[in-house]
Amino acid sequence: MSHSPLDVRLRQVSHTFNGRDRGVPALANISLTIDSGEFVALVGPSGCGKSTLLRLVAGLLTPSRGYITLGGQPPAQARRHKAIGWMAQQAALLPWRTVLENVRLPLQVNRQVNRPPASPEQLLALVDLADFADAYPHTLSGGMQQRVALARLLATGASLWLMDEPFAALDELTRGNLADELLVIWQKFRPTVLWVTHHLQEAVYLADRLVILSARPGQVAGELTIDLPRPRDDTSADFQALVRRARQILGRGQNG
């Protein structure tokens, strides 16, 4: 990537949304360190604050208490330097632009964007869409649209990727294929990744480490290091043992 991958540090971070009659606590006393170039999956029950935590790291929200640093600086500074990339469940492609024009968009909208690791045409080839450069988003499958979104993320040159369930809407086969392709790209460029998912097997397959949140207000219920070599065999006994362990921690967090 254009800059060295950023480490992420949260210290005693809590966040409460202001409701009509009273505050609604979303996160409570989150302390977490993600090393530069590490791939961390954030899992937890619905409503536990996973997406809120992602928005706090991105600087889109300000913690009610505690602090967050990215590479030793506040998130706002990383945003100014265009060091943060975001990918969500919906590809959010502009329908009137071709695939290639969508990938070029970060370079056209913001001239200060970091230098991408390759040209937009090369990035499309990297996600196996070189033959679809002139196609429009509505002609693509959901998986292909997410490949375009990934190429657009690469085009930003961001060194921290915040990914909010980007494969959740895809079928199981497409999801697995994209996971493999994503890992190849991540290993090539080694950004820091914080990946939100409900899917425990996906988390164990992709991540170096799982951070498991409790039910709302979200707190760290446990962490699980995934020390299996890549590519991982999701049918192996060791893999399934880690999934069971993650499920046990998740169950304890849901039950308080």
Based on its alpha-carbon atoms, the radius of gyration of the chain, rounded to whole angstroms, reads 18
Which residue has better confidence, 221 or 23? 221
Which tens digit of pLDDT belongs to each residue from 56-97?
999 999 999 999 999 999 999 998 888 999 999 899 999 999
pTM: 0.93
* pLDDT confidence of residue 66: 97
Which tens digit of pLDDT belongs to each residue from 154-188?
988 899 999 999 998 888 898 899 999 999 999 99
CA 183 → CA 23, 115, 189, 211, distances in Å? 40, 22, 10, 19
Topology of domain 1-83+158-256, per CATH? Answer: Rossmann fold (3.40.50)
Whether the predicted pLDDT of 113 surpasses 90:
no
Whether the predicted pLDDT of 206 surpasses 60:
yes
Which tens digit of pLDDT belongs to each residue from 116-162?
668 899 999 999 999 999 999 999 999 999 999 999 999 888 999 99
Biggest alpha carbon distance in the chain?
Answer: 55
CA 226 → CA 38, 50, 84, 207, 211, distances in Å? 12, 20, 25, 7, 11
- Comma-separated ranges of CATH 3.40.50.300 domains in the chain: 1-83+158-256
